[in-house]
Structure 1
């Protein structure tokens, strides 16, 4: 059972797994992800976003499906929930990012997904003290000893509908954890899983 934390944000409290959640959601009966919550600057009035839903089939290094992700745009931010089946990932922390191109066809390499959504030189990292974070930055995912994972995060850095425009959007999982500070990807290493995000609400 993974650790659970609670973060209270001004004028908004959200239930989620890990940092920012209270009891979390039990996706496989025992696995929970961890996340942080990103909120607007103090005193800012969050703009209402266009509501939308999307999903992604997560492919592992060999191209086989290892899990599913669901994305739902709320009034002020984007909720992401992901489930990874046993054996899908190596145990431990994994960097997780939204990427600028909806293409996972180069199985194992996953370079066709492009760079981070909203990529800006020197701006990577949720804890970046200078320029960041980038729009595609997300909290790390935790995989249990059997390689399964349950993950939920809420971010105000990305709006789903605009992100799906143009070249689309993908969700990438890295071999190692993201330190949320160093450039350009927080030392997260190779891309080990990829999912093309597709709108599901018409």
Structure 2
């Protein structure tokens, strides 16, 4: 009896194996959706020299480096109001030539998403959390921007784009830019290869 069950099990396994070779391909394993255009950072670092815009006195210097799933940003921004909160974003064009920094275009948004808060399911690739100035009007920057690369030319590459500091905080909901107000500083992301 035991031998009969064993033979039936072997026959069933062979029949199943034969069914799987009928030309139909098995479905690929499910994975998290990742845009085909995402790449890998090729730059080791980048600097951003923020210059005032819209008649402000805001300026600063940022350093960027690839880290984990994105790019880490550190530095300082001064000339802000004491204790005030300001929006900061990566914008689509590395052009700060206009007096109001409008030449930098809109938020960096290669996936066509709605504006929102970084770390939530719906947001622009260039969306970051607000920064807060200390009593001297200086904001210490320590931000991780997920889902982007530095160099390499992929759709999610931020090298050569601009960082903009806004006059007001981002409300994280108003479209298309969080009701963040005037652009008070602009700097191009200059990558080091």
**TM-score, with structure 1 as normaliser:** 0.66
| Shift in CA distance, 57/128, structure 1 to aligned 2, threshold 3 Å | closer
| Shift in CA distance, 127/154, structure 1 to aligned 2, threshold 3 Å | closer
Match of 1:74 in 2: 67
Q: For 2:68 and 2:33, locate their aligned partners in 1 and report how far apart those are by CA, in whole Å.
A: 12
**TM-score, with structure 2 as normaliser:** 0.69
Q: For 1:84 and 1:100, locate their aligned partners in 2 and report how far apart those are by CA, in whole Å.
A: 21
| Shift in CA distance, 127/83, structure 1 to aligned 2, threshold 3 Å | closer
* Aligned-pair Cα RMSD in Å: 2.9
Unaligned runs of 5+ in 2: 1-30
Structure index of larger Rg: 2
Paired positions, count: 153
Give the helix-richer structure, 1 or 2. 2
Q: For 1:177 and 1:45, locate their aligned partners in 2 and report how far apart those are by CA, in whole Å.
A: 31
Q: For 1:70 and 1:157, locate their aligned partners in 2 and report how far apart those are by CA, in whole Å.
A: 18
Report SS of the residue matched to 1:187. coil
Q: How does 1:61-140 map to 2 (within 5 A)?
A: 61=53, 62=55, 66-85=59-78, 88-91=79-82, 92-107=84-99, 109-118=100-109, 123-126=114-117, 132-140=122-130
Q: For 1:63 and 1:152, locate their aligned partners in 2 and report how far apart those are by CA, in whole Å.
A: 23
Report SS of the residue matched to 2:140. strand
* Cα deviation, residue 105, structure 1: 1.3
